[in-house]
């Protein structure tokens, strides 16, 4: 990957710190992002505006889509003109248009990878690729940007001859998906954008081949959008008093999101602090869930029943009022097996909600242990329970983490920084 650049310079000082150190004292360890993988590209001046086409198969809003919204909201539109092509209509199109960003719906299916070879699916995707290619040519798109394997396949087929291709790494999935991504990206992608320094290594042997084309560009957010949420909104929905301690997991249902770890920790906490309440907030991301996701959700709810936690663990569907949800929580938990980045972690920092997260993936690079959040050993429910109790039992620590989290966000994870770094990459490619 690139040598240290603008991103790594700003992120120096983050990452894990030994839990044995004081909660707010001592020098933090350097962030994993600081050792390299920054953008490392000159912010070349663009004399004329560059048309950028973004392709996203889904019309719903998950973490990757929230990152896209933040990027486009801060993009310098005098230099880069965005056009977002979506595979389905929905909340994402509405949100983009509300922000004055052009969104076009070109319907195409988004099946699991194992169904891509079905003849009817191939025919529909081929037609979609032709329509997208025609749109790219008519609009004079010089840069094509996507973050999904299916989107990459379509853009490779639709790509105008002179257009450059940028791929945003988000959730990489299992081995078949990673192999498909590596095989597609190696000959076709001009620039890979990773959201954490650890992420490229998950492509197996491919990082060596992609090294000169990979930049680590963590997303950012507008902090003000998540400040000032109404603490009563979530609690009223749960029929809960403001003084009741409330610990939450805000995530869609997927096999790597760590709901089981959250429930096991909740059982441990409830045995010591029966007044504490918990909430799992989130639903399926893209309408009807894939079979394995549906089975996972059923297993999570069954485990809640087995642990006799129905009285203290509330289950809520997806909510759009994220600032109010975060304001209603005393602690946000991110227990994922390996979270690619964790937009909800940034949003909690902006809201001033203390975060306890797994010590892997993006959250381990966002949070400074004991300063802007607490990290626990991934998959260890006992360690998670201990960390949550530590936050609940120590008002000074809660204040420290809330203040440190806001400072961390403003120093390294703003949407303005995110947009400037991506613009530098676009300028070098255009």
Question: Can 41-220+414-429 and 223-412 be said to share one CATH topology?
Answer: yes
- What pLDDT, on a 0 to 100 scale, did the predictor assign at position 45? 52
Query: CB 124: neighbour CB atoms within 10 A?
Result: 15
The DSSP code sequence of 63-98 is HHHHHHHHHHHHS-TTTEEEEEEESS-SHHHHHHHH
Backbone angles phi, psi at 10, to 5 degrees: -70, -30
- Select the CATH number that applies to the domain covering 41-220+414-429 from these four: 3.40.50.620, 3.40.50.740, 1.25.60.10, 3.40.50.2000: 3.40.50.2000
pLDDT digits (tens, 9 = 90+) for 124-155: 999 999 999 999 999 999 999 999 889 999 99
Strand order through the sheet with 331-334? 313-316, 277-281, 246-250, 331-334, 355-358, 374-376
pLDDT digits (tens, 9 = 90+) for 294-306: 899 999 999 999 9
C-beta of residue 384 within 8 angstroms of C-beta of residue 40: no
Domain ranges of the chain: 41-220+414-429, 223-412
Question: Does residue 269 sit in helix, strand or coil?
Answer: helix
13: left (phi over 0), alpha (psi -120 to 50) or beta: left
If you average pLDDT over residues 230-244, what whole number do you get? Answer: 96
- Taking the CA atoms of residue 16, residue 17, residue 20 and residue 24 in that order, the dihedral angle to the nearest 10 degrees is -120
Angle, to 10 degrees, between the axis of helix 415-429 and the axis of helix 63-74?
80
Which of 38-52, 144-158, 392-406 is predicted with the least confidence, judged by mean pLDDT? 38-52
**Extended strands (E) in 251-307:** 277-281
Tell me the average pLDDT of the chain: 88
- What's the fold here for domain 223-412? Rossmann fold (3.40.50)
Give the residue, 170 or 341, on which the prediction is more confident.
Answer: 341
């Amino acid at each position: 990957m690139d040598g240290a650049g603008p991103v790594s310079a700003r992120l120096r000082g983050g990452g894990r710190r030994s839990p044995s150190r004081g909660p707010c004292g001592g020098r933090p360890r350097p962030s994993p992002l600081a050792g390299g993988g920054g953008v490392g590209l000159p912010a070349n001046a663009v004399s004329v505006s560059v048309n950028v086409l973004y392709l996203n198969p889904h019309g719903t809003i998950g973490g990757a889509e929230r990152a896209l919204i933040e990027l486009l909201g801060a993009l310098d539109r005098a230099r880069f003109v965005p056009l977002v092509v979506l595979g389905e209509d929905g909340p994402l199109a509405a949100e983009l248009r509300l922000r004055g960003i052009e969104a076009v719906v070109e319907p195409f299916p988004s099946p699991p990878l194992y169904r891509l070879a079905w003849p009817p699916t191939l025919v529909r995707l081929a037609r979609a690729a032709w329509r997208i290619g025609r749109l790219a040519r008519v609009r004079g798109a010089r840069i094509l940007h996507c973050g999904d394997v299916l989107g990459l396949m379509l853009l490779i087929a639709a790509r105008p001859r002179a257009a450059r291709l940028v791929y945003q790494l988000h959730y990489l999935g299992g081995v078949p998906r990673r192999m498909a991504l590596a095989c597609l990206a190696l000959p076709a992608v001009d620039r890979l954008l990773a959201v954490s320094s650890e992420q490229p290594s998950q492509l197996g042997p491919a990082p060596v081949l992609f090294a000169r084309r990979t930049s680590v560009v963590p997303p950012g957010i507008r902090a003000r959008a998540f400040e000032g949420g109404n603490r009563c909104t979530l609690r009223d929905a749960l029929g809960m008093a403001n003084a009741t301690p409330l610990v939450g997991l805000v995530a869609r249902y997927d096999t790597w999101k760590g709901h089981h770890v959250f429930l096991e920790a909740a059982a441990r906490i409830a045995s010591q602090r029966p007044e504490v309440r918990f909430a799992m907030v989130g639903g399926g991301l893209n309408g009807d869930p894939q079979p394995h996701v549906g089975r996972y959700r059923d297993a999570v709810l069954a485990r809640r029943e087995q642990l006799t936690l129905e009285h203290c663990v509330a289950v809520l569907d997806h909510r759009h009022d994220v600032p109010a949800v975060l304001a209603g929580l005393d602690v946000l938990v991110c227990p994922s097996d390996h979270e690619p980045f964790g937009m909800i972690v940034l949003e909690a920092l902006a809201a001033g909600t203390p975060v306890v997260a797994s010590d892997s993936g993006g959250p381990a690079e966002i949070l400074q242990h004991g300063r802007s959040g607490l990290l626990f050993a991934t998959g260890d429910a006992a360690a998670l329970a201990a960390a949550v109790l530590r936050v609940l039992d120590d008002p000074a620590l809660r204040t420290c983490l809330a203040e440190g989290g806001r400072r961390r966000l403003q120093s390294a994870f703003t949407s303005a920084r995110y947009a400037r770094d991506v613009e530098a990459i676009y300028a070098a490619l255009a």
